Structure 1
């Protein structure tokens, strides 16, 4: 199996389904509410494990009921949680509104994730044995930088999802091998709306970029190679929550297995397309046989 370490967040998603999202100061009536285990780190860990990776999760949950559920959800998908800390207080939560077009808006409250400010004893030793390290930005920046630098020290391929998007310090970018923003994040990082031009600009800071384009697929750019766009399968979206995390987790497995880039992107796009046809975050993520059948 392919060894993947995820240093990232765990959140309980509190999801309200509405015909359309409320405007500022407006109240609308929802048609359904559910709680779904999520968080960008946990989502990517579950996606990678279901895609066939041997996955270890580094992060934190709280001492509330959500914490126990989040830990169990990871373990049920085959994720190793030995390095998942328990911090006094509430777990992280994400408050999500999903509209009838499958779009979403999200407010994240960090909770226990905010206590992960640096690597803990034993974390670097596990990172050192990995084929690939996945990072996001829902943990404090110090921990993300610690993880990236550990990956660089040990020659571990490091993949960063720059979400929630914010300016990235040069020392973090210098330790990243692959940056995976969506088209909006790429624009925010570069000030350039066109994804191709934004990807080219990002290559001045990192050696390889994949920009996810939603229903239009994914764009790959790397120094010294021609850009490549892989289309996404045509599907009707029910809920796009965690589609990007599904893509990244599945892509990580494909890359760690040594698949060619075009094949890896197509496989990850198939997984993401399956996920948007189902409600929820971790609950929507497909297993390897499903991905193989759809790609």
Structure 2
């Protein structure tokens, strides 16, 4: 892997409160779980940690966002500092709780997430200004839709103007204004998000291709539909291709998409071509689903390179 330019991440940070359970409770019902634990999460934080473990360059990943003035906020910030992430643009907000997400994980590894965004919802022009201040040395900007959309829009427009590629994960699904994605270089919906955006039931690679073409025709340069254990469909200039999945034992799918985006972002920031960057993202996602947790589950550069080599 070549030297990596800075990876700027704008997005949410949530403390994940995770319950392993045989099944979800119905209305008015109590269904006993089997295990409870907490781990730093949030789509922005997850992508930052995934990128930092792959980049292996202290301070080259910069986190932009907000935490509250509580213990969860400090714990999340310290976790990122321990990973070598630059948190100088992570703002602490008084008199509000940090974001949290209650996550139920079923025996097959599938997860159900209920977030309360807390301080994330107060992101404003301070965050877009912070992104702008970091663009000079950036090789990519990673965004999602957990913070207010005007902040994200101002940031991605500024990045595009500065010639910095933008990777956006359209999650959680929100109604966005016309032209919202006009400055996005790579959009990375999963099956559910692609289905909603293209009005196509994305159940297999052929449907993913049709959805990717439909979404790309709205003016987005590249669309990558992640398909879990079916791989990922890449639709771009001169590229219309299914990337085969890595066969791994799934423990939990929490943060798999974030792991993919973190790896994809590092690939782009290090000058890889699109398909190689996407394969790095897939390796990162495969390593993540083999472990418990969110940020704690992210793979290292050595692990990703070994996985890629074993499937070359």
TM-score computed with the length of structure 1 as normaliser: 0.96
1:1-295 to structure 2, matched below 5 A, reads 1-52=4-55, 54-88=60-94, 89-120=96-127, 121-193=129-201, 194-205=207-218, 206-223=220-237, 225-295=238-308
The answer for unaligned runs of 5 or more in structure 1 is none
CA distance in 2, matches of 1:118, 1:25: 42
CA distance in 1, matches of 2:136, 2:223: 23
Offset, 1:170: 2.7
TM-score computed with the length of structure 2 as normaliser: 0.91
- State the aligned residue count: 294
Offset, 1:114: 0.8
The answer for unaligned runs of 5 or more in structure 2 is 202-206
The answer to whether the 8 A contact 1:104-1:240 is kept is yes
Which piece of structure 1 moves more, 262-271 or 93-102? 262-271
Offset, 1:8: 0.5
Partner SS, residue 169 of structure 1? coil
The structure 1 segments of at least 4 consecutive aligned residues displaced by more than 4 Å after TM superposition are none
CA distance in 2, matches of 1:210, 1:148: 18
CA distance in 1, matches of 2:249, 2:97: 36
CA distance in 1, matches of 2:101, 2:70: 15
The answer to whether the 8 A contact 2:64-2:130 is kept is no
The answer to whether the 8 A contact 1:167-1:189 is kept is no
Offset, 1:117: 2.3
